[in-house]
Chain A
Amino acid sequence: MNAHDILLGRLDATALPWHELLLADTRLEVISGIVGLSAAIIAVAGALLVATALTWRRLWGPLWRDWLTSVDHKKIGIMYMVLACVMLARAVVEAGVMRLQQALGSGGGGIVTPDHFGQLFSTHGTIMIFFVAMPFLTGLINFVMPLQIGARDVSFPLLNSVSLGLTAAGAVLVMVSLVLQPFSTGGWSGYPPFTDASFNPGAGPDYWIWAVTLSSLGSTLTGINFTVTIYKERCEGMHMMRMPMFCWTSLCTAILMIFAMPPLTVATGLLALDRYLGFHIFTNDGGGNVMMFANLFWLFGHPEVYILILPAFGVWNEVFSTFSGKGLFGYRALVMATMCIAVLSFTVWVHHFFTMGQSTELNAIFGIATMAIGIPTGVKIYDWMLTMYRGRVRITVPMVYGVGFLFLFVLGGTTGVILANPSIDYQVHNTLFLVAHFHNMVIPGTLFGMIAGYTLWFPKAFGFRLNDCWGYRAAGLWIVGFLLAFFPLYILGLMGMPRRMVAYFEGAWLPWTLVALTGAALIVLALLCLAVQLVVSLRNRAELAVPVGDPWDGRSLEWALPAPVPEWNFPALLVVEGRDAFMELKMKGDHLDRPRDGFIDISMPRPSCVGPVVGAAGLIAGFGLTWHIWWLTVVSLTVIVAAMVARSFVRETHRTVPAAEVEARWNAWRTLADASPRIRRRDEQRQANRGHAFPAAREGGE
């Protein structure tokens, strides 16, 4: 073992982003090398640009003190969502490159080599699931749920920060693989034996293993945190059956996280044993069995899709009732349906591999269980329709996404039922039909839900609304772009086109891939519109300001608070007497009361560097393991343990916010609220909307 091996493990010049270009022989390889190098340059330049801007504006200090070390659930939620947006930009661009490749790949050729294409679909899937959808929904729950149940924070604020650190570490590890290549080509599910050392000895699958492991650990901890928070931190009178539906879906999501994430951690851990220590768990030889990985992975993977969709369902509940000016129809049924979905989600994993050769009885039972999930899901759709029935529906930006969701999700559900039938699945499994189906669930379902939630709660977080015009443009482009990008894939799948094809020799497939490319272009435009929307809204934040805090005539407790919400959320612990607590107050012409017993000092957790330190050390450990740099791995794992031990010696974990400060903020806010007129819903999208709402339900009787 020479010094290089000890210092840098197997990391050498071949990992550098221009290596592919140096070896390139053919035109395709040159173009592919340029694509890979450009991606690396963009990643590095982006990081440098952000670092320079922070240095220039002297923001490193505030960033560290006010954000990275913060244990405030609202700030952690926002950081989760920022992470999701950055990763979303990369994964959407990757999708665009893949669509372009498939449009150009008719008859061979295109812009990326097969190996490069393999890395593209693997990073795209891994990022979209673990580093876009998961952080987005975790961020949204983090921000909204404690406010809705009348809590000061989650039960374990520091653990929350550690979860964020671990998730971010996984995301950064995937970003590093852009510069020190390659990433895995094994897809987001990383099936062995393809990802075993005998077939893929390189660093690629190891990047995947550690990125996913970091993220799954973070999500398990998050699940525990959210579950305990909902069980223990509800304010007085907030019975389970009085919680807003978003909290119910958050609870089910959190429970799913606790039970579904460990099988994934175990699966990636066992795969790591195969790769690093020569175990034979999933290998072809030595008694290994690939079928065990498939079972473990999908034991996680299926509940995972409900982890993705349930928080979005929660958002839709809020969107449909708020913008219909009406209480949610069928609250009890919706609670039951959510629970049904959560439980059933653990009973259907075999439908991911009907084609593995098991008995027809087994397949049929799992197929029927799969279709059974359609029952509670269908009930939800009907309940949302009945929420609009005899309401006063306002087509705001979140509602545009909502209506798009209803139509598209019903179609996606239909193709889901088709896939649930083993005999039909034998034909369309592993084809683009399947790809179209799950994108049909996660884009209109999860992603539209997240964007709608972002639009809905943005004013609560930052004190001003988002520009509506750019919001409508983005929503329209998302919906049309989605239709064009994914409906052709259904047809291609029925024509027998497998997924993950870099090129093909069937002329009949070409027109459909061209249509799909157009759709992908529209989706990129939609993303740009969202970016423009943010910039435009930031510039016009004075006109869009809603400091009183209730821009949409909201129903649940978070809308009773100023926007942005103070660090301590509620000046005193609340007592609620029913569901839609804030709406009941508003209907009586009231607002959130001053604390009955006067203002008191509030004890809040202090910021802590443990979260970012554990995250950074986790990232470095993952990097060291990937490249076999053992000393680095040992050092960083030691740092993690040391950070935890050191934390246990910290005695001053809380600080006190004086009652006077709380009272001053409260008085300033109430003065502002009293000076702002209560506006009717027709002025919702106008400058007159300062966040002081006149309840839509009382407009008629005025």
Chain B
Amino acid sequence: MIRTLCRPPVSIMVSGLMMLSGCRLNMGFLSPSGPVAEAQRMHLWIVCGLMLLVVIPIFITIPFLLWRYRYRDGKNNAAYRPEWEASWKWEVMLWSGPLIVTAVLSWFLWTYTKALDPYRALSDDPLQVQVVSYDWKWLFIYPDMGLASVDHLVLPAGRAVTLSLTSRTVMQSILIPELAGQIYLMNGMTTRLNLQADHPGEWMGRNTQYNGDGFYRQSFRVEALDATAFAQWTERAANTPPLDAAALAALENKGMRDDLPALFSQVPQHLFHEIAGGRGHDHSGEK
């Protein structure tokens, strides 16, 4: 569904135009590395294209009006109708133009919003990753493997991933622009975000919701590995220190990761649910 939303030729054409115009934005969702970000970019181009239909005529007409009808102390030959204040013909056009554009935009809005539901899994068997945000660091738990990493999200390239998210502190918002949009993390609640990296690579993820002094440094490395590299990573991770009470307490301290290990193993089975509490924040969307 998502794939059909981003017809590649159009997408490539638009990016080509961007490159030619010298405006190269080689970061953020304008250079997507996953199906969600790619579809979001496509939607952006559609909206921009439709809005240009509105903007360009206005931008041409205003200078024309200013020039043609400028005050020239009686020397201007253009028509002057000081009493002309209403016209049904014009009024119908003025209302129907924006109405039609908005209707078309709304159709796209509905389609894309439904298709890009962050709660909708991108495949039948996505990799489950649980995310806990602290002040000012991130804990990523791989429940099926009993692993956890700090400030480093490792993903298998080409496989769908479901993030379940909560916060141990104030509200935060997670954003990996090249892969997918953002979603809030809130204490005592679980939100969800589905994404996928199309190919191996490295990106930055961030918190975008201000949460104090360390906010500007609260980023994390996102790394997509091919199948073998990912398997190797999980093996290596298995021999790391356990995520015990001491480590969890260290995460609670306000501050950066500093000398905390980047990888943990032997993650307690229900750790995430204990942290997030019972209150899910599922909406009724398709699971």
A403 to B70, CA, bound (A): 13
Q: 10 nearest interchain CB pairs? A: A426-B181, A430-B208, A359-B283, A697-B82, A378-B98, A496-B28, A496-B177, A498-B208, A357-B191, A284-B187
A118 touches B27 (CB 8 A): no
B62 touches A406 (CB 8 A): yes
| 19 CB-based A-B contacts, threshold 8 Å | A199-B169, A284-B187, A326-B82, A329-B87, A333-B94, A363-B113, A371-B105, A371-B106, A375-B102, A391-B69, A392-B71, A407-B59, A421-B105, A421-B109, A422-B109, A423-B112, A495-B27, A498-B206, A498-B207
**Which residues of A are at the interface with B, using a C-beta cutoff of 8 A?**
113-115, 118, 185-187, 191, 193-194, 199, 284-285, 290-291, 324-333, 353, 355-364, 367-368, 371-372, 374-375, 378-379, 381-383, 385-386, 388-395, 403, 406-407, 410-411, 414, 417-418, 420-427, 429-431, 491, 494-496, 498-504, 506, 508, 680-682, 696-697, 699-700
Of A329, A359, A422, A508, the contact of B27 (CB 8 Å cutoff): A508
A427 touches B182 (CB 8 A): yes
B74 touches A423 (CB 8 A): no
A502 to B191, CA, bound (A): 28
A284, closest chain B residue (CB): B187
Of A284, A361, A421, A696, the contact of B82 (CB 8 Å cutoff): A696
Residues of chain B within 8 A (CB-CB) of A410 are 54-55, 58-59
Of A379, A385, A390, the contact of B62 (CB 8 Å cutoff): A385
Given the known inter-chain contacts A395-B70, A422-B113, A424-B47, please indicate yes or no for A114 contacting B170, CB distance below 8 A: no
Residues of chain A within 8 A (CB-CB) of B26 are 508
Given the known inter-chain contacts A359-B285, A379-B94, A418-B47, please indicate yes or no for A393 contacting B69, CB distance below 8 A: yes
A305 to B209, CA, bound (A): 21
Q: Does B241 contact A (CB under 8 A)?
A: no
B210, closest chain A residue (CB): A500
Q: Does B132 contact A (CB under 8 A)?
A: no
Known: A403-B62, A681-B71. 15 other contacts (CB 8 A): A324-B69, A356-B186, A364-B110, A364-B114, A374-B102, A386-B90, A406-B62, A414-B51, A418-B44, A429-B182, A430-B173, A494-B30, A504-B216, A508-B26, A697-B82
Query: How near does chain B come to A607, taking the closest CB pair, in angstroms?
Result: 42
Query: How near does chain A come to B67, taking the closest CB pair, in angstroms?
Result: 9
Given the known inter-chain contacts A430-B208, A498-B206, please indicate yes or no for A414 contacting B55, CB distance below 8 A: yes
Segment of B35-43, B137-145, B242-250, B260-268 engaged in the interface with chain A? B35-43
Residues of chain A within 8 A (CB-CB) of B214 are 114
Given the known inter-chain contacts A324-B69, A696-B82, please indicate yes or no for A494 contacting B28, CB distance below 8 A: yes
Query: How near does chain A come to B241, taking the closest CB pair, in angstroms?
Result: 28
A378 touches B183 (CB 8 A): no
Q: Does B3 contact A (CB under 8 A)?
A: no
Query: How near does chain B come to A22, taking the closest CB pair, in angstroms?
Result: 19
A604 to B136, CA, bound (A): 61
Q: Does B235 contact A (CB under 8 A)?
A: no
B44 touches A424 (CB 8 A): yes
Given the known inter-chain contacts A395-B66, A423-B40, please indicate yes or no for A372 contacting B58, CB distance below 8 A: no
Q: Does B259 contact A (CB under 8 A)?
A: no
A118 touches B86 (CB 8 A): no
Residues of chain B within 8 A (CB-CB) of A113 are 213
Residues of chain A within 8 A (CB-CB) of B78 are 390
A606 to B89, CA, bound (A): 52
Given the known inter-chain contacts A381-B58, A385-B58, A388-B69, please indicate yes or no for A424 contacting B40, CB distance below 8 A: yes
B95, closest chain A residue (CB): A379
Query: How near does chain A come to B11, taking the closest CB pair, in angstroms?
Result: 15
A390 touches B80 (CB 8 A): yes
B170, closest chain A residue (CB): A194
Query: How near does chain A come to B179, taking the closest CB pair, in angstroms?
Result: 10
Residues of chain A within 8 A (CB-CB) of B44 are 418, 424, 427
Residues of chain B within 8 A (CB-CB) of A417 are 47, 51, 105
Q: Does B116 contact A (CB under 8 A)?
A: yes
A479 to B204, CA, bound (A): 35
Residues of chain B within 8 A (CB-CB) of A696 are 71, 82
A193 touches B183 (CB 8 A): no
B24, closest chain A residue (CB): A508
A291 to B285, CA, bound (A): 19
- As a 0/1 sequence over residues 143 to 182 of chain B, the CB contacts with chain A under 8 angstroms (1 = contact) are 0000000000000000000000000011101010100111
Residues of chain A within 8 A (CB-CB) of B85 are 326-331
Given the known inter-chain contacts A358-B283, A410-B59, A417-B105, please indicate yes or no for A114 contacting B215, CB distance below 8 A: yes
Query: How near does chain B come to A457, taking the closest CB pair, in angstroms?
Result: 21
Residues of chain B within 8 A (CB-CB) of A331 are 85-86
Q: Does B211 contact A (CB under 8 A)?
A: yes
Residues of chain A within 8 A (CB-CB) of B23 are 491
A361 to B285, CA, bound (A): 9
Given the known inter-chain contacts A329-B85, A403-B62, A681-B71, please indicate yes or no for A426 contacting B170, CB distance below 8 A: no
Residues of chain B within 8 A (CB-CB) of A325 are 71, 80, 82
Q: Does B81 contact A (CB under 8 A)?
A: yes
Given the known inter-chain contacts A414-B55, A417-B105, A696-B82, please indicate yes or no for A355 contacting B181, CB distance below 8 A: yes
B216 touches A427 (CB 8 A): no
Given the known inter-chain contacts A284-B187, A367-B109, please indicate yes or no for A390 contacting B81, CB distance below 8 A: yes
Q: Does B274 contact A (CB under 8 A)?
A: no
Q: Does B73 contact A (CB under 8 A)?
A: yes
A389 touches B43 (CB 8 A): no
Of A390, A426, A508, A682, the contact of B118 (CB 8 Å cutoff): A426
A121, closest chain B residue (CB): B210
A332 touches B98 (CB 8 A): no
A329 to B65, CA, bound (A): 14
A360 touches B114 (CB 8 A): yes
B73, closest chain A residue (CB): A682
B183 touches A367 (CB 8 A): no
Residues of chain A within 8 A (CB-CB) of B79 are 390
Query: How near does chain B come to A379, taking the closest CB pair, in angstroms?
Result: 5
A388 touches B65 (CB 8 A): yes
B190, closest chain A residue (CB): A357
B186 touches A199 (CB 8 A): no
Q: Does B212 contact A (CB under 8 A)?
A: yes
Query: How near does chain B come to A381, taking the closest CB pair, in angstroms?
Result: 7
Residues of chain A within 8 A (CB-CB) of B228 are none
B47 touches A680 (CB 8 A): no
Q: Does B29 contact A (CB under 8 A)?
A: yes
B183 touches A357 (CB 8 A): yes
Query: How near does chain B come to A250, taking the closest CB pair, in angstroms?
Result: 21
A117, closest chain B residue (CB): B216
A330 touches B109 (CB 8 A): no
A418 to B43, CA, bound (A): 9
A390, closest chain B residue (CB): B81
Query: How near does chain A come to B216, taking the closest CB pair, in angstroms?
Result: 5
B110 touches A368 (CB 8 A): yes
A427 to B176, CA, bound (A): 9
Residues of chain A within 8 A (CB-CB) of B108 are 421
Query: How near does chain B come to A509, taking the closest CB pair, in angstroms?
Result: 9
Residues of chain B within 8 A (CB-CB) of A329 are 84-87, 90
Q: Does B255 contact A (CB under 8 A)?
A: no
Query: How near does chain B come to A317, taking the closest CB pair, in angstroms?
Result: 12
A194 touches B27 (CB 8 A): no
Residues of chain A within 8 A (CB-CB) of B188 are 284-285
A114 touches B177 (CB 8 A): no
Residues of chain A within 8 A (CB-CB) of B25 are 491, 494-495
Residues of chain B within 8 A (CB-CB) of A362 are 283
